[in-house]
Structure 1
Amino acid sequence: MMNPTMYYQTKIMSDLFLDRADNSGVTFRTASQMDDFWKFAEGPLMDGLYWERWYNNDTLVTKNSVLYENYLLGSPRMRQLKVKNDSCEVHKDFQRAIFSCYNFYAQPYEDRETTNAKNDTSFQWREIKSFAKNDVWGILGTYSGEGGYIVDLTLNKTKALAKIKDLKKNLWIDRGTRAIFIDFTTYNPNINLYVVTKLIAEFPATGGLITSWQFRTLNLLENSSDAPIALYICFTLFVVFIAYYIIEELVEIKTLGFWPYFQSSGWNFLDIFTILISVMLVFFLIYRKYVINKIFSEAYTTNGDSMESMDTESLQNSSSLALQIETYQFDTLGFWSAQFSNILAVLSFVAWIKLFKYISFNKTMSQLSSTLSRCAKDIAGFGVMFFIVFFAFAQLGYLLFGTQVKDYSSFGKAVFTLLRLILGDFDFQALEAANRVLGPIFFLSYIFFVFFVLMNMFLAIINDTYAEVKAEIGDDTNEFAVMDYFKSISNQFLLQILGKQ
């Protein structure tokens, strides 16, 4: 579940690993070439993962901590994915001079050959033998989670740094490298939160380096001092309510018929959608719990005891937690926890929207709902015209500025950029720098046709319909008899109180 502390836990970890610079000023956020990766790995990464001394240079009693308060769970892991040489074809005009070609990453092009004569597993492709295998979404593509060239760093800073230097010396990264993932998980016993961290370094076929990251803050185990019984009671009640409403809707569908049921009220669509989302949430919650038990029982061993038999208080009392935990894979936990949160967010949104169904007897709310329903056809027709013009401008912006302006580097980005422009969020200087003539023309023409013409047409449709609905409701004296009844009751009650006084 969410709580405000999770944001600050995420922020403090992201600041530590994304914005901490080495002596040359390179951070993971600003890294842009292959050499920058090694600068980060040898400097900010090592300093961030291994806190061995206090600020006064005293030795820390508690080992394997990050920011003094977070424990490393298992060894940090680096995983590399490569593509084969000749995974693309050199143009025939250059085949006599250029003999190698490394494509963008795709699983059919993936290289799994040993790349070093030494008997070093870091240069051998290895499968991840774990329950947790997830593909990784990067900026440039999606990367396989089956395996790769894996390096498990030790929990000792000196040995880990020596390993990094050895990898650099023996060219662990080469022209075929397309992505490197740095995975580690920390646990903060003070607030009972885990942070599953994945730093992603992508090496595109164009050359250079593009970085991205994932910080997923999770609450996986309930505190033994709390009362999880209340959560189980609420969950049970939630399941009972879902079962009740499923039966109720099925009876209504059987009585009215399938299509008449949906034609009788538009709210029925929302009711069915709410039930489906609720059922998905229950399955996600059950599967998430199963994954937690599966991963913990597979990955953790603490003094021979399974993690399934341990509560948070026992974990907090373990001073050498990181030393007792074996190699982990928390990706699945982070992924399913994120999906659970997404489903819960959608369900909460739909539940709030359903409030309109029960306050429609109010005159003002009835005007709003009637206005939207009556002008729906006009808005649909306007929407066709609007999106024709809008997508035309998006395609124009993509073709004009796609090679120079990041916001227009793909058609999808151009669409979202133009949506932001309607809200006043734009970068005119970038367009002008890309093309001093067409940039201003594109900007001004889009503002005129979309913002001044089309948006005002949209408002005019709603405004005219609202005026018609308001006039009709004003002439209908019996429409809101229920509301008048409650008003008369309240007025009589107040008169009685004032009369007694």
Structure 2
Amino acid sequence: MASNKSEKQFMLSENEFNQMAYDNTALMNPQYIDDIDYKSEIQPMNSQQTKSNQFMKNADSDRYSCWSRFTHCIRSAWATRLTEDTMDNRELYIHTTLRELVIYIFFLITLMIVAYGPFNSNTYLLTSSMNTMFLQAQVTNGTDSLSTASSLDVLWSVIQGPIMNNWYSNTWYNTQPFATANNLTLLYQNRLIGVPRLRQLRMSSNSCMIPVYFADDIKECYGQYQEANEDKKPFGLKNGTAWTYTSSDQLGMYSYWGLVSSYGGGGYYEDLSRDQTEAASQLDRLFQNLWLDRGTRVLFIHFTTYNPNMNLFSVVEIVVEVPASGSLVLNSDFRSVKLLRYVTPFDYFVLACECAFLLFIAYYIVEEIMEIKKQGWIYFVSVWNSLDIIIILISIVCAAFNIYRTIIVINLLESILHNPNEFANFQMLSIWQVNFNFAISITVFLAWVKLFKYISFNKTMTQLSSTLGSCAKDLAGFAIMFFIVFFSFAQLGYLAFGTQAKDFSSFITVV
């Protein structure tokens, strides 16, 4: 008790000492009082500023925490073996691999539905029947057909005979007319869309050099077709599209690679009428005025049909090449394609899968970007990573074409419905559809191959991969030796038998 009292007295005496020191300092230096007052004034302000700074730090910390949680969710959604550190964590490696595999299986199922959904197993039957109908049909009381035609006069008889009859079939087999007037139907099931078109390309009479030995006897020389030197001058009657040249841009036609040469998309063309009598008159006028002559190098027969039972368009392009040798070379393209994609309930299910396919593409694009950001240029060393990029790029092209085709088909069909007597140019769409089928088939193939990427942790698959990797150099060396011998024999066959045997007539057919 005495001790506490003495301490209290000591403290009071110390305070008194400080007060006395303050008074003495104030007497010696009055400015000291102002400094003390100023510090006492700003002290509360510093305290408030400290609290404000602390609040801002807490807010920034909360925002940073939210962003961290968001980025963590993103990384978790796109976590792969390349974005996570799985080198020393076997459990994490298996977890991410299985997760990638499950997502990829769903992607693969969606891709298969998109690829096989529009496919009709009866497409070949339609193509085969159209081929037989136009290429094998024979002239009445004769044996000539388009597939056996060897001269221009036989070609005319086939066009004016069985081909015309197939185009303008308005009656049943008992001569009873169809219920719908002007409904041009092929094989009783396929409707002619628009009108047929005949188009030819020509070479001029001075398109090749005549040897001096025959210069007096031979005045005209029609050379082999070359698009750069094709004849574009009016000929014959010199009026109308059949006798004057029209460019490919105006026609909207594409180049064609035939058996003899490649041909441009322009030419001299005649669109036939939907009335059989008038169409026959048009063909007769062309026949009488020698529309096809020595200058003709190729004749294209274009038309399109639609089968409502199968919802398939048949875009037909019959090509009769007339080489400088004087014979006829027949080639044809019967493209049966499904251009109206969304009609039945199953078609709309496929549409839903196509939308899901777009989401998968977006998902894998983000995944590849994250992996490239994580790995850098090392990412492109792996074959599997390159395969991923190829699949994504082809998938983007297929998805873009799907959207483009839907828009173009709608616009084209509306134009045809308003102008049924005009030619329906489905050539571009059919070609792109065939290319789309080719692209989607490659995507399906690569997608199935990519499965090996996700099952590589299996011991058997690891051994298989290592075996193939070990013998890769030997296989490459053997392939080089094989192709050297193979192409040597191909050149031998082409040079020795190219003038006699059809299978050796060109180096491509030999290979």
Instruction: Bin the TM-score by the shorter chain.
Output: 0.7 to 0.9
The answer to whether 1:287 aligns with 2:407 is: no
Alpha carbons of 1:185 and 1:344: their partners in 2 closer, same or farther (altered >3 Å)?
same
Q: Deviations over 1:30-79 (max 9, x none)?
A: 22222221121021201211112211222333331111221111111101
> Structure 2 matches for 1:17-28, cutoff 5 A?
17-22=134-139, 23-28=141-146
Q: For residue 266 of structure 1, what is the amino acid of its counterpart?
A: V
CA distance in 2, matches of 1:223, 1:286: 12
Secondary structure of the structure 2 residue equivalent to 1:55? coil
Alpha carbons of 1:92 and 1:254: their partners in 2 closer, same or farther (altered >3 Å)?
farther
CA distance in 2, matches of 1:59, 1:299: 24
Question: Aligned residue for 2:205?
Answer: 85
Alpha carbons of 1:414 and 1:225: their partners in 2 closer, same or farther (altered >3 Å)?
closer
Q: For residue 26 of structure 1, what is the amino acid of its counterpart?
A: D
Following superposition, the deviation at residue 160 of structure 1 comes to 2.0
CA distance in 2, matches of 1:125, 1:48: 28
CA distance in 2, matches of 1:403, 1:129: 38
Q: For residue 277 of structure 1, what is the amino acid of its counterpart?
A: I
Following superposition, the deviation at residue 118 of structure 1 comes to 6.4
Asked whether the equivalents of residues 342 and 351 of structure 2 are also in contact (C-alpha less than 8 Å), the reply is: no
Percent identity between matched residues is 43
Question: Aligned residue for 1:99?
Answer: 219
CA distance in 1, matches of 2:326, 2:365: 55
Alpha carbons of 1:165 and 1:285: their partners in 2 closer, same or farther (altered >3 Å)?
same
Secondary structure of the structure 2 residue equivalent to 1:338? helix
Question: Aligned residue for 1:180?
Answer: 299
Secondary structure of the structure 1 residue equivalent to 2:410? helix
> Structure 2 matches for 1:293-372, cutoff 5 A?
293-301=410-418, 324=420, 326-372=422-468
Question: Aligned residue for 2:27?
Answer: none
**In terms of Rg, which structure is larger?**
2
The answer to whether 1:35 aligns with 2:131 is: no
Q: Deviations over 1:233-263 (max 9, x none)?
A: 32222122112212211221222221x2133
Following superposition, the deviation at residue 81 of structure 1 comes to 0.8
> Structure 2 matches for 1:377-456, cutoff 5 A?
377-415=473-511
> Structure 2 matches for 1:488-499, cutoff 5 A?
none
The answer to whether 1:67 aligns with 2:187 is: yes
The answer to whether 1:233 aligns with 2:352 is: yes
Asked whether the equivalents of residues 299 and 329 of structure 1 are also in contact (C-alpha less than 8 Å), the reply is: no
Secondary structure of the structure 2 residue equivalent to 1:40? helix
Following superposition, the deviation at residue 184 of structure 1 comes to 0.8
Following superposition, the deviation at residue 120 of structure 1 comes to 4.8
Q: For residue 202 of structure 1, what is the amino acid of its counterpart?
A: E
The answer to whether 1:216 aligns with 2:312 is: no
Asked whether the equivalents of residues 301 and 326 of structure 1 are also in contact (C-alpha less than 8 Å), the reply is: no
Following superposition, the deviation at residue 91 of structure 1 comes to 2.7
The answer to whether 1:269 aligns with 2:386 is: yes
Q: For residue 43 of structure 1, what is the amino acid of its counterpart?
A: G
Question: Aligned residue for 2:269?
Answer: 150
**Please, what TM-score do these two structures have when normalized by structure 1?**
0.73
Question: Aligned residue for 2:86?
Answer: none
Secondary structure of the structure 2 residue equivalent to 1:248? helix
Q: Deviations over 1:325-351 (max 9, x none)?
A: 533211111111111111111101111
Is 57-66 or 349-358 further displaced after alignment?
Answer: 57-66
CA distance in 1, matches of 2:161, 2:203: 28
The answer to whether 1:116 aligns with 2:212 is: no
Question: Aligned residue for 1:44?
Answer: 162
Q: For residue 56 of structure 1, what is the amino acid of its counterpart?
A: N
Question: Aligned residue for 2:322?
Answer: 203
CA distance in 2, matches of 1:121, 1:413: 37
CA distance in 1, matches of 2:299, 2:343: 38
CA distance in 1, matches of 2:501, 2:166: 34
Following superposition, the deviation at residue 98 of structure 1 comes to 2.0
Q: For residue 230 of structure 1, what is the amino acid of its counterpart?
A: F
CA distance in 1, matches of 2:129, 2:374: 57
- Number of residue pairs the alignment of both structures matches: 391
Q: Deviations over 1:162-208 (max 9, x none)?
A: 32232222111111101111111111222222111111111001111
Secondary structure of the structure 2 residue equivalent to 1:74? strand
